[in-house]
Amino acid sequence: MFTNLKKTISLIFLTSVLTFVFAESTDIPGLYRYKLDNGLELFVAENDSAPLAYIEIAVRAGAVTQTPQNAGLFHLYEHMMFKGNERYADQDAFTDAANEMGRIDENGTTGVDRVNYYFTIPSSLVRRGLEFWSYAIRTPKLDESELENEKAVVLSEINADFTDPAHIRSAALFKTMFPKSPWRLSPSGDPAVIKSATPETLREIQKNYYIPSNSAIFVGGNVEHDEVFQYVKEIYSDWKNPDEPVEFEEPETKTPLLRDKKLVFVNAGADDAMIQVGYYLRGPDGQIDAADTYAADVWTKLAGDPNGVFAATFVSEEALCIPESNYIGASYPTRRASGLIGFYAAMLNVSNEPPVEDSNFGFGSIETVRTSNLSPVEKSDLFLSVLKRKAIPAMANKDKFFKDKSISFVIQQLEDSRIYELESAKTILSSLSFFWSSCGSDYFFSYDKNIAKVSEDDVVNFIQKYIQNKNGALVVSVSPGVWKNYKKAFLNHGYEEITAENAFWQK
């Protein structure tokens, strides 16, 4: 349905459609939203339970906006934000100013969809805190000598990723499922780009992305929303947008593979008695498939139910040696342009011997460990076969999938989880910031209404659209001992080995 999309779509809207003179009402008590003339969004969550204020400034940037030429510069720029600016000459002055405000949990992060900076300070200093972040985000010093020092820090983080099992496995998966632009899921970046970075290249990042129409401020705690708005308008209203917008490439295809791809990863920390399997498919992207993400969330709850038909299908397949339903599951995290559906299981690697009572495999109170004659390779292949021939068809069958748990119950669970999430100003704003970056603030505010509309047919349609008869990547993680004994068999069954050398797009 997206073949007629233009090759690129605009990332930044340079003019505001609407300016909120007063706070726009929301359905969440104590939460207010504003928009300045320059496009900067402001969200204020009032909560007088403690004399504190949480302040966050977020930018729609990070891995999702990277190209091979600038991959890693968002990460490096995030580090340089703490190294001084027009008001605070260097890192010591910056840190001293934050300490003088009594700041708590100050940090900055570079993720897939967002770069953000935040801290918690006494609410009496909220104006000072807003001004503090204004200098940081708008006038970073980007000193050349500091840049060289910070390059070494960032490079050490990247090199650590290159040896970390979790990063190696994820990198291989992302390169498989997003073959056109795997760098858009790699916030740490490319060592070559980091090494060649200059203050000028970082200024380009600032000019194109660290701009008001691509940013939002989140303030919560013992504050008055109108007062916060006046502070923000006073401090940030002269923040300018560039003359030309940057263009954002459309998300990758939903069908990156012509056939299933099988990968095996040797994890030095894995136990010989365990085989981990995961199967992944492209899912909805928040940027263009937001309507499908609601059904995806309901589906995830249903598929993750340990008492549901999905888990029962696998546990009943005794040859897989899945100890119990808690060791099978499914996932879908909402992302701006990198939606990924996952199925996973933990299978015991045991031979056909008498049942083991009170085993020490680390599964808690399992009374009997299942056994089978299947090798780790055969179990991995069987997992994929059961998923595609039994579990997915069962989920696509409305009568079977909703037999044990009604959709209204699942929707109520999601609504209850949302209520819990909205208990404090900080958790409200952290969730809002996440969805603002991936789907937009309207998505966050209309979530409950749209979740309530999801029907059984919507869930089945989601399964048929994104899961049934689709090709994906099977990733099997085994110990060095298992690999030593079954390497030839894995390769003969069409598996490709993931290594630190072939996993990363940077290499």
CA separation for the pair 193, 151 (Å, rounded) = 10
Nearest of 114, 8, 100, 25 to residue 61 by alpha carbon:
114
Whole-number mean pLDDT of the chain? 90
Q: Are 266 and 480 in contact (CB under 8 A)?
A: yes
pLDDT confidence of residue 25:
72
CA 27 to chain centre: 26
Whole-angstrom distance, CA of residue 227 vs CA of residue 216: 17
Q: What percent of the chain has pLDDT over 70?
A: 91
Given a cut of 90, is residue 354 above it in pLDDT? no
Alpha-carbon 158 to chain mean position: 19
Q: What architecture is the 261-411+448-498 domain classified under in CATH? A: 2-Layer Sandwich (3.30)
Give the max Cα distance, the chain. 75
Beta strands at 8-10 and 247-249: parallel, antiparallel or unpaired: antiparallel
Q: What digits encode the pLDDT tens for the residues 280-326?
A: 999 999 999 999 999 999 999 999 989 889 999 999 999 999 999 99
Quote the DSSP letter at residue 147.
H
Identify the band that residue 422 occupies on the pLDDT scale cut at 50, 70 and 90: confident
> Which are the contacts of 505, defined by CB distance < 8 A and separation ≥ 6?
171, 174, 175, 182, 183, 186
pLDDT band at residue 360 under the 50/70/90 scheme: very low
Of 88-97, 132-141, 249-258, 272-281, the range with the lowest mean pLDDT is 249-258
Q: Which pTM value belongs to this model?
A: 0.89
Task: Map out the domains of the chain as residue ranges.
Answer: 8-249, 261-411+448-498
pLDDT for 22 equals 57
Task: Tell me the per-residue pLDDT of 44-62, one tens digit each, with 9 for 90 and over.
Answer: 999 999 999 999 999 999 9
Strand 495-498 relative to strand 261-266, pairing: parallel
Q: What is the pLDDT of residue 424?
A: 87
Question: Per-residue confidence at 390, pLDDT binned at 50, 70, 90?
Answer: very high
Which amino acid, residue 204?
A: E
Lowest mean pLDDT among 8-17, 122-131, 253-262, 413-422: 8-17
Q: pLDDT at residue 357 above 90?
A: no
d(CA 49, CA 56): 19
Which range is least confidently modeled, 140-154, 352-366, 375-389?
352-366
Looking at the DSSP bridge assignments, the partners of residue 277 are: 345, 476
- At residue 18, does pLDDT exceed 70? no
19-23, 75-79, 335-339: segment of lowest average pLDDT:
19-23
pLDDT score recorded for residue 64:
95
CA atoms within 13 A on the CB side of 184: 21
* CATH T-level topology, domain 8-249: Cytochrome Bc1 Complex; Chain A, domain 1 (3.30.830)
